Structure 1
Amino acid sequence: MNGAMEPAGGEPEEVEGEGSGETGALRPSRRGLLGLLGAGVAGLAVGGAGGAAIAASAAGGQTAAGRSSVVPFHGEHQAGIVTPAQDRLHFAAFNMVSGSSRDDLIQLLRDWSEAAERLTQGRPLGTGLEPGDALLPPDDTGEAEGLQAGNLTLTFGLGRSLFTGSGEGGSEDPYGIRSQLPAAFEPLPSFAFDLLEPAQSGGDLCVQACADDPQVAVHAIRNLARIAVGRTHLAWSQLGFGRTASTSRRQDTPRNLFGFKDGTMNVMSDETEALAEHVWVGDEAPAWLRGGSYIVTRKILMTIEAWDRASLAEQERTFGRTKLAGAPLTGGGEFDHPDFAAERDGAPVIDMAAHVRLAHPDQNGGTRILRRGYNYVDGSNELGQLGAGLFFISFQRDPAAFVRLQRSLKHDLLGEYIRHISSGLWAVPGGVRRGEFVGQRLFD
């Protein structure tokens, strides 16, 4: 999954898996252009209150060389899972248009795969910014022109509703794939601290765009949404900045908006056996999902103002870690194992309801996940309170692993300072081979 660096000052280097030759222009159909006037365009604004700030920072902090790295789109697994976590996110959920067919879904995934290959190479779509006929819209929206690939990864997921229908009087097998529904693909239950907003939850499809440059990630989702018009529309999206998780010990563990390091015991990209056990789907699933995973997203609103008034002692008791070093309260370094049996003055050093205790694999039968979360800020309300928090992302072999962990957090001290306002679960098909499209084996 390592990216190929481009030669200094040149175009992104050709990498294994790149398609041969120029592809055709990816324009919305006539039906799509009509659909553009309805649902879909407005969805681009959802979750984007922080968009101006993120876009404005696109030019800062990244050298041209730093933006030119290419992550191959093709491979055994989809990119954007064990890929070293980039600093920026644009996550989007889509719903299929009412009346869309199996052929519409297949062609959409073909078009998205073709576009994703070019976007992750830092190449413009179709004829780029200048169509042969100036009376036509450009094939590429153009805001990423000159920014190069930026380590962009695009990870695609399929929602359970594609297999079962919406449950609102429509077909129970709208795309002829219900027989391919994995047994483990069950809806997430309700959890403690859930105040979910339906308009920001779920979706028939999802796309996770991660990049080193925020404008590269936004450009990718914008163009995929544009290509999809008439077949699916953007239901909701979320911008993220400042990754809150590491996928490798070579990356520093970042901090969340509470100022703490978290998730240090989660699966890392170099743990081959742990990935096979906890992240990659195996022979228990239909062939189309093998080598894939399940992605869970949770938008977690932090009550920043209440947290900022809490004492350091209370904050550290809540997490079970020191704030500065990120080490367990029982001592050692950030990655040292907490001593959950340690006591001081007859009481546990790490509170029985501390986050590090309740979330630790030792307390959950060895359950582990791979995390790729991001901070977000969606502006503030009329009271001056920040709409900010964590956009949590995890990959796991079985959604039941996430359910177990989340249920363990029912009594988490963090519950006083957080609310879960968005939730989603999608199956992530295995990697895309050259000449294939995302999820192709589902339809073969």
Structure 2
Amino acid sequence: MTETTEPDETGPEGSSPAPSRRALIGWGGAGLALGAAVAGGAVAVVRPHEAAASADASTGGEVAFHGAHQAGIATAVQDRLHFAAFDVKTTDRAAFIRMLKDWTEAARRMTAGRTVGEGAFGLAEAPPDDTGEALGLKPSRLTLTIGFGPSFFEKFGLADKRPAALVDLPHFPGDNLDKSRTGGDLCVQACADDPQVAVHAIRNLARIGFGKVAVRWSQLGFGKTSSTTPDAQTPRNLFGFKDGTSNIAGTETDRLKKFVWVGEGDGPDWMSGGSYLVARRIRMNIETWDRTSLQEQEDVFGRDKGEGAAVGKAKEHDKPFLKAMKPTAHVRLAHPDANGGITILRRGYSFTDGTDGLGRLDAGLFFLAYQRDPRQGFIPLQRKLAASDALNEYIQHVGSAVFAVPPGVRDKNDWWGRTLLTEEA
């Protein structure tokens, strides 16, 4: 990211002058608005962010922050993830709104490859506005996506604004949820092609939010396991298989409208153009799987391991013949044709978090699914999979959360959560 040593006299996008660091120190207390200091080299802008051609990873390009929908949903899936769930710690509504405005401005700058506020240098007696570890790095297609959990609506007198679709997820058979990795008042999903860029983004938002929010849990992810560019080969999960080959593409406007974006009349007006996110941390029993025969592995998924084609087919994108698979095969049970057309948009990542103390890898899939309504998407689908999927012998759901993801930030005067937290439309 580009550092600036001499701040401009005007704020971002030519707004009013920003307060001097010597007049207002730090992010805390006085609620310092994010400063200006726009400088540095040009970046490649990718528009719109829904497009499947959202910047070749090698360009390190910028994904547009403003839009009707938040970036990071239909955007071409990046290689790395840093996901964080937060708990709200303040009862001061005005202070929380100020934080969201500061977060939005920080996100606007970081996704453009710029430093936060006045950068990583400044007054020696005060902490810098930017933590500095992304200096010199390209935007790396960074996207930042925010969502609000069911518990958030218990704050600030917002119970009447909780969407009916934002239900608490039921307990599914086989769930072994760790409370320390479950729930959250709000979340931020940072995706980028450079892990340091993604980590930098969450770190800076957590710092700005100090005293108002606190990280409840977080997850790093690598090796995307889903793709919103299905014309390309589907990435593999840690079991070595391709899954979700019929995922919605970022260019499929009609399918996105039908299955992902909340429409007018679906719920409260503030959610129109948004989506619902289900996040599940799925532990894979790697050692057991690695001792399983190839034939059984392929029977479990209903695909061949080499090409990723469904049973009896030649290519991964060939339409599957579900009845050729075993009744408990994952593909047969999960496919839209077997579920009345239920379709979700997947953005999954692999994770490896060391070992569990018994020499077993703590590894698996961090599953992210966006949909128009979880009651008609993830919930009925997971009920079916939890009951019959042969894959259950090798996996366990250990973390879970659901969030309402509002529509995109429209312009430089807009901010995350504005339509929820103000009466202004």
Task: Say yes or no: TM over 0.5.
Answer: yes
Residue 310 of structure 2 corresponds to residue 328 of structure 1: yes
Unaligned ranges ≥5, structure 1: 1-5, 7-17, 33-63, 166-173, 342-348
How many angstroms apart in 2 are the aligned matches of 1:253 and 1:390? 15
Aligned pairs for 1:362-441 within 5 A: 362-400=337-375, 401-409=377-385, 410-434=387-411, 435-441=413-419
Aligned pairs for 1:136-285 within 5 A: 136-163=126-153, 165=154, 174-283=155-264, 284-285=266-267
Q: Which residue of 2 aligns with 1:313?
A: 295
Q: Which residue of 1 aligns with 2:330?
A: 355
How many angstroms apart in 1 are the aligned matches of 2:231 and 2:14? 34
How many angstroms apart in 2 are the aligned matches of 1:134 and 1:359? 57
DSSP 3-state at the match of 1:423:
strand
How many angstroms apart in 2 are the aligned matches of 1:65 and 1:248? 13
How many angstroms apart in 1 are the aligned matches of 2:195 and 2:18? 26
Q: How far does residue 23 in structure 1 lie from its aligned partner after superposition?
A: 5.6
Task: For residues 209-264 of structure 1, give each alpha carbon's deviation from its aligned partner in whole angstroms, at most 9, with x where no partner exists.
Answer: 00000000000000000000011111110000000000012432100000000011
Q: Which residue of 1 aligns with 2:80?
A: 88
Q: Which residue of 1 aligns with 2:34?
A: none
How many angstroms apart in 2 are the aligned matches of 1:308 and 1:339? 27
Which AA in structure 1 matches 2:258? E
Which AA in structure 2 matches 1:162? F
How many angstroms apart in 1 are the aligned matches of 2:152 and 2:366? 24
Task: For residues 82-122 of structure 1, give each alpha carbon's deviation from its aligned partner in whole angstroms, at most 9, with x where no partner exists.
Answer: 1100000000000000x422222211211110110001011
Please tell me whether the aligned partners of residues 230 and 246 of structure 2 are also in contact (alpha carbons under 8 angstroms). Answer: no
Residue 96 of structure 2 corresponds to residue 115 of structure 1: no
Which AA in structure 1 matches 2:111? T
Task: For residues 40-85 of structure 1, give each alpha carbon's deviation from its aligned partner in whole angstroms, at most 9, with x where no partner exists.
Answer: xxxxxxxxxxxxxxxxxxxxxxxx9835300111101000001100
Please tell me whether the aligned partners of residues 226 and 247 of structure 2 are also in contact (alpha carbons under 8 angstroms). Answer: no
Aligned pairs for 1:53-64 within 5 A: none
Q: Which of 327-336 and 365-374 deviates more?
A: 327-336
Please tell me whether the aligned partners of residues 31 and 230 of structure 1 are also in contact (alpha carbons under 8 angstroms). Answer: no
DSSP 3-state at the match of 1:27:
coil
How many angstroms apart in 2 are the aligned matches of 1:234 and 1:253? 32
Please tell me whether the aligned partners of residues 352 and 364 of structure 2 are also in contact (alpha carbons under 8 angstroms). Answer: yes
Q: How far does residue 192 in structure 1 lie from its aligned partner after superposition?
A: 2.1
Please tell me whether the aligned partners of residues 86 and 243 of structure 1 are also in contact (alpha carbons under 8 angstroms). Answer: yes
| Residue of structure 1 aligned with 2:92, choices 83, 101, 122 | 101
Task: For residues 285-344 of structure 1, give each alpha carbon's deviation from its aligned partner in whole angstroms, at most 9, with x where no partner exists.
Answer: 211111000011000000000000000000000000000000011223111121123xxx
Please tell me whether the aligned partners of residues 321 and 329 of structure 1 are also in contact (alpha carbons under 8 angstroms). Answer: yes
Residue 278 of structure 2 corresponds to residue 288 of structure 1: no
Please tell me whether the aligned partners of residues 329 and 350 of structure 1 are also in contact (alpha carbons under 8 angstroms). Answer: yes
Which AA in structure 1 matches 2:340? G
Please tell me whether the aligned partners of residues 57 and 141 of structure 2 are also in contact (alpha carbons under 8 angstroms). Answer: no
Aligned alpha-carbon RMSD (Å): 1.9
TM-score by length of 2: 0.86
How many angstroms apart in 2 are the aligned matches of 1:270 and 1:413? 33
- Count of residue correspondences: 379
Q: Which residue of 2 aligns with 1:10?
A: none
Query: For the structure 1 residues 186 and 67, does the alpha-carbon distance in structure 2 shift closer, same or farther, using more than 3 Å as the test?
Result: same
DSSP 3-state at the match of 1:330:
coil
DSSP 3-state at the match of 1:432:
coil
Residue 71 of structure 2 corresponds to residue 79 of structure 1: yes
Q: How far does residue 436 in structure 1 lie from its aligned partner after superposition?
A: 0.6
Please tell me whether the aligned partners of residues 84 and 215 of structure 2 are also in contact (alpha carbons under 8 angstroms). Answer: yes
How many angstroms apart in 2 are the aligned matches of 1:92 and 1:206? 6
TM-score by length of 1: 0.82
DSSP 3-state at the match of 1:207:
strand
Q: How far does residue 31 in structure 1 lie from its aligned partner after superposition?
A: 8.8
Task: For residues 374-394 of structure 1, give each alpha carbon's deviation from its aligned partner in whole angstroms, at most 9, with x where no partner exists.
Answer: 000000133211000000001
Task: For residues 345-396 of structure 1, give each alpha carbon's deviation from its aligned partner in whole angstroms, at most 9, with x where no partner exists.
Answer: xxxx310000000000011110000000000000013321100000000100
Please tell me whether the aligned partners of residues 23 and 126 of structure 1 are also in contact (alpha carbons under 8 angstroms). Answer: no
How many angstroms apart in 1 are the aligned matches of 2:121 and 2:348? 37
DSSP 3-state at the match of 1:415:
helix
How many angstroms apart in 2 are the aligned matches of 1:252 and 1:119? 30
Structure with the larger RCO, 1 or 2 (CA within 8 Å, 6+ apart):
1
Please tell me whether the aligned partners of residues 309 and 315 of structure 2 are also in contact (alpha carbons under 8 angstroms). Answer: yes
DSSP 3-state at the match of 2:380:
helix
Please tell me whether the aligned partners of residues 79 and 191 of structure 2 are also in contact (alpha carbons under 8 angstroms). Answer: yes
How many angstroms apart in 2 are the aligned matches of 1:161 and 1:103? 19
Q: How far does residue 417 in structure 1 lie from its aligned partner after superposition?
A: 0.2
Please tell me whether the aligned partners of residues 67 and 212 of structure 1 are also in contact (alpha carbons under 8 angstroms). Answer: no
Q: Which of 205-214 and 330-339 deviates more?
A: 330-339
Please tell me whether the aligned partners of residues 155 and 209 of structure 1 are also in contact (alpha carbons under 8 angstroms). Answer: yes
